[in-house]
Structure 1
Amino acid sequence: MSATAPASNAQLERWQRFRIGRNAALAADHGWLTLTSFQWLESAPAAVELIPGLWSTDGTTATLTASATEGLTLVDTGAPVDGTISATLQDEESLMWVQFGGSDGTEVVVELAMRADKYAIRTRDNSSPVLTEFDAVPTFEYNPDWVLEGRFEAYPEPVDVPIGTANPLVDGVHRSVGEVVFRAPGLPHEIRLHAEAEKLGALTVTFHDETNGNTTDEWRKLAVSRPRPDGSVVLDFNRAINYPSAFTPYGTCPMPVAGNSIDVAVEAGEKLPAGRIV
C-alpha cells in the first residue's frame, strides 16, 4: 500500500465523535458488556444459575415461578414477582423481563430470548468486570486510505442466506438485499460483500479480513449510509466495529455470509477488546 495520506482535521473530529459515542453506548447499563450467562430453558420447572426462581418452557411460552421474598421484580413496572408469570416471543425477539440484586433491586436484568426457536435467558449484571473495568475499545489509528468509494447492486428481491452465529447451537439467516462492490487498497480486483438492510435505507456488511484472529476479532461489521440515487456508497472502514460476541461469550451474533471476505488486512476500525485473546 502506498504511504497514507494525512487525514483532515474535519475527518479526525468526526471520527473522534463517533468513537466517543460508540464507547458510551457500550458502557450503558445492562448493555452488551454486562452479559454474564446464557442458559436454555427446559420443559420442567427448574432452578438456573445466578437467578432466583424456577424457570421452564413448553416450547411456546416461557414461565417463571417465584415468591416475593426472592426479590425478583418486573423490569417494565417494578412489580414484585409473587407466583407464576409467563411470556411469549417470536424467533430472534428478546424481552428484558425481570430484575433483582443490588441496593435498589435492579443490578441484574434477566433477558428472555428466543433463539433457534428455543427459549433462553441471559443475565445482564451491571457489576460485571467487563463493564466496570471498561475504558474504551482499542482501535487502529484513523486512516483516510480506508475511506472507499463503492457501489450498491441491489437484488430484485431479498435472498435469505443460511449462516452460523457466535453460538454453535444457534443457526442464523442473513437477509441479503444486494452486494456492496468496491476496490480495497492493495488489491487489484473488486470485492463483493453481501449487504443487509437497516433503517432508512442504510446497509450493514459483516466481513472477514486478514487481521482476524490477530489484531481483530474473528469478524467485524460496518454500517454503510443509504446509497445515493446512482447507487454509489462510501465505506469508511475506520468505523468498522466489533459485534457483542467480541466482548462476551454469551452472544449469538451473526457470522458473515460465506465469501464475505476482504483478502487483505483491513487495518482500520476496532481491534480486539482489551484482555481478549483469539
Structure 2
Amino acid sequence: MPQALKVDLGDHAPCDPGFPARAIAHITADEEATAEAPLNLVPFADLKSFFKGSGRGQAPHILWDPFTGTFAQFFPATSRSKAVFDKDGGFRTNRSGKVVIQIEALFFPHCRVNGQVFVKLVDTPCKGWDVLNAWINSWGVPNSWPMGRPTSLSRNTCPAAKWKSQGGWYAHAHVPENDHVDPGSWPSFVSQPHEPTPVGPRFEPFPGTSFFRTGHRSPIIAGMHTRLVAEDCDRYTSDTGIDVWGPGDVRSYAAWQQKLGLEGSAADGVPGRFSWDRLGVPEV
C-alpha cells in the first residue's frame, strides 16, 4: 500500500487462488472501556510496535488509525497474514482467497480521543477509509458483505459453502473457526464518482524540507502552527511569531510525527511529505 508505513515482518506465505478475493475487518479492541469509564485511545505507535514485536504472530496486513488516516503495513497483499485463528486442516482462514487482506482499525468501544468519547468505529472520522477502500478494491476484492455489513458486536459465523464461494468483505465475527465479535461496525463503501466531484478544501502542497529553516517567515508556517495546535501537538512556549519557523515548531511538529507513529530520525521535527500531507494545512 503506497500510503502505508512499511514494517515488513518477513515470513511471507502464499494465498490460495482457488478461492475468491476477500478482506477481513477487525478492531484492535486493546482496552475494555465502558460508557461509565471510557479510556484514552492507545497510541498508534504502541500498536505498531506490538505487531512488530510480541504480537507478530497475530499481525494483520494493515493497521489503520481512523483518527489520523495513518497506516502501517506488515505483510504484502499477496501474502497471508496472521490476524485470525486458523485450525489445522480446516478452512485456511488466513489464506483462502486470491488475496485475504486483513485490516485492524485502531479502535475499541468507548475510547477517548481529544476529550471526545467514541462508541462505534463509524462514529470516528474514519480518515483514510477512502484510500484504504480503493486500495483493497484494486486487488479484486468486491465492495460487498456476503454476511451483511456489521452493525453490532455479535457473532454470525459464515456457512462453509458461502465462505468458499463468495468474495468480498467479512467481519472477524463472520470468519469460520473463530469466536470473536468484532469489529462491531464498519464504514460504508466509498462510491466511485461518475461525475466530477465538487471542489472541497484545498491544502498547501509539501514545500520541501529546505523551506523549514530557522527564521523563515511565511503564512504557511502560521497555518501549520494552527493545525498542530488543533491536533493537540502544541509544544509552543509563546503565541508570538507564529509565522516564523523556530524551536517551538520543531518540538510541536515532532509531536505530530510521533502521533502518526513515526520514530527516530523520522520524528525529528522537520516536516516530510508523508506527515505534511496528513496534517492538512489549508491553502493560503
Q: Give me the TM-score of the superposition, normalised by structure 1.
A: 0.26
Q: Which has the higher helix share?
A: 2
TM-score between the two structures when normalised by the length of structure 2 = 0.25
RCO higher in structure (CA 8 A, sep ≥6): 2
Bigger proportion of residues as strand: 1
